[in-house]
A = this chain, B = another copy of it.
Amino acid sequence: MAVNSPIPVAADLFPVAGIELGYAEAGVRKPNRKDVLVMRLAAGATVAGVFTQNRFCAAPVQICKTHLAAGAPIRALLVNTGNANAGTGEQGLADAQETCQALADLMGCTPAQILPFSTGVILEPLPVARITAGLPAAIDNLKADNWFNAAEAIMTTDTQPKAGSRTVTIAGQQITLTGISKGAGMIKPNMATMLGYLAFDAKVAQPVLDHLVKKTADHSFNCISIDGDTSTNDSFILIATGAADLEISSIESPDYAALEAAVIELAQFLAQSIIRDGEGATKFMTITVEEGKSIKECRKVAYSIAHSPLVKTAFFASDPNLGRILAAIGYAGVHDLDVSKLNLYLDDVWVAKDGGRNPDYQEADGQRVMKQSEITVRVKLGRGKVASTVWTCDLSHDYVSINADYRS
C-alpha cells in the first residue's frame, strides 16, 4: 500500500546488543492485535528524547519528560496503541503513572526508570487494567530479535510496519543501529514524530545524546507532514545501549560525526517511511526550498506547499496545475518576498521563471513528471543562500475515507 516502500523483512532487522523487545495483545481498543510493547534496556544505556510541542501534550509525554529530567537510568520503555491518553487531565497522569508502577514492579526498578508512550484516540480514559494485565506476556517474550514484532505492535492506521537497520564502522568498531516508527495521520511533527525509536550500541554520554536527538529530529521527523496536524503524543527516542566497544563523549570528535551521519540517515528513512504510508498516500513528494535568507523562511514556504489541500489534490490527480504551488508560496508569510526573482522546478522541468511561466515550459513535460510516484518540487527564492527540505504526500479520496471512518 505504501508508496515505494516494501514491507521490512524481519531477518533484515539487526538486534542491538543491550535492548530486548516484547509485545502483548492486551485488547486496549480492539482484540487480537499487538497493542502493548515493552523495550527493556540493559544497565549502562543512555536515553534522550524530543516530544510534541502541542500544548495538549498527552499525559505519557509529560511523564516521559519528568522521568528523563530526573536522571535515574531508564530501564524500559512501555508503549500502548489504541488510546492516546491525551486530553485526560489529572486522571490521565495518574493512569500513566500506574502503568509505569506496574512495569517497574515486574522489573524490579522504580517507576521513574520507565518511559511511557501512548497513541490512539484522544479524550478517552486509558484502560489501565487491560494494559497492566498484558505486561507479563510482553515480558515473557522479550527478545533481542523482536524488532519486526515491535514495529507491528506500535501501528495504528499504518498499513505496514516501519523499521530499518544499518551498520557502520567507526574507529574500527562495528556499530549496529535499528529503529522503528509509526504514524500515518495527524502528522506534522514539531520536535518529533508520532512515535519513533532508534537504538544503537555505541556508548554515548548523556549531553552528547541530548544534542544528537535534537539534531536528528530536526533533520528527519521535523521535516515531514501528511496533513499539518501536530499530534498530542509525538515522541522520538534515541537509545545508546553502550554494549559495543565505542565510547563517544564529545560532539567535537570525528567518531561523533560518523555516528551522527548514520543516525540521521536511518532517522530520515524512518521518517520518510511514515510519509510513504501516509493516510491515503499515492505519491511521495520532496519539497526543497533553496536560496532563502533563513532556514525558517525556507521551511515556511516548504510547509505552505506541503499543507495546501489544492496542491495535494493536484498531485493526487497527476494534474500539473502548478499555479497552485505559486499561490501557496505567495501566502507562506514571507512578507518581503520578491516574486519576480522566484524560479520553480518540477524534477528537471523548469516551470516558472522569474515569477512567471517559463516561456520554454511545455505542459507535456509537467504532465510527465506529475505521473511519477516520486516527485521533487524545487523552489528557488532568489534572496539568500539557505535551503531546507520537507517530505510530504498527496491528498486522496482514501485520506477522507480513513479519517471519516477511523473511530466510528
**Which A residues lie at the B interface, using CB under 8 A?**
53-57, 84, 86-92, 121-125, 185-186, 188, 190, 227-232, 307-310, 313-314, 316-317, 319, 321-324, 326-332, 334-335, 337, 339-340, 352, 354-357, 395-397, 399-401, 403-408
Contact = CB atoms under 8 A, between A and B. Distances in A.
Contact of A326 (B232, B307, B319, B321): B232
B91 A331 contact: no
Given A89-B357, A124-B357, A396-B400, 13 more contacts: A53-B331, A55-B329, A55-B331, A87-B356, A87-B357, A121-B323, A123-B357, A124-B323, A232-B326, A317-B403, A317-B408, A319-B407, A319-B408
Q: In this complex, which of A188, A307, A319, A327 has the most chain B Cβ atoms within 10 angstroms of its Cβ?
A: A327
A339 B397 contact: no
A230 B400 contact: no
Counting every copy of the chain, the complex holds 2
A295 B354 CA distance: 37
Contacts of A313: 399-400, 403-404
- Which 9 A/B pairs are nearest by Cβ-Cβ distance? A122-B323, A89-B356, A56-B330, A317-B404, A123-B323, A230-B331, A313-B403, A54-B330, A55-B330
Interface of A is mostly: loop
Contact of A86 (B90, B327, B395): B327
A93 to B, nearest CB: 10
Nearest to A321: B407
Given A89-B354, A319-B404, A356-B89, A231 B327 contact: yes
A89 B228 CA distance: 31
B404 A356 contact: no
B307 A84 contact: no
A328 B230 CA distance: 7
A131 B212 CA distance: 60
Nearest to A407: B321
Contacts of A340: 89
A213 B291 CA distance: 37
A327 B229 contact: yes
A68 B227 CA distance: 39
7 contacts: A55-B330, A87-B352, A123-B352, A188-B331, A228-B307, A313-B399, A321-B406
A330 B84 CA distance: 14
Contacts of A330: 54-57, 230, 232
B54 A356 contact: no
A151 to B, nearest CB: 24
B123 A88 contact: no
Contacts of A328: 229
Nearest to A121: B323
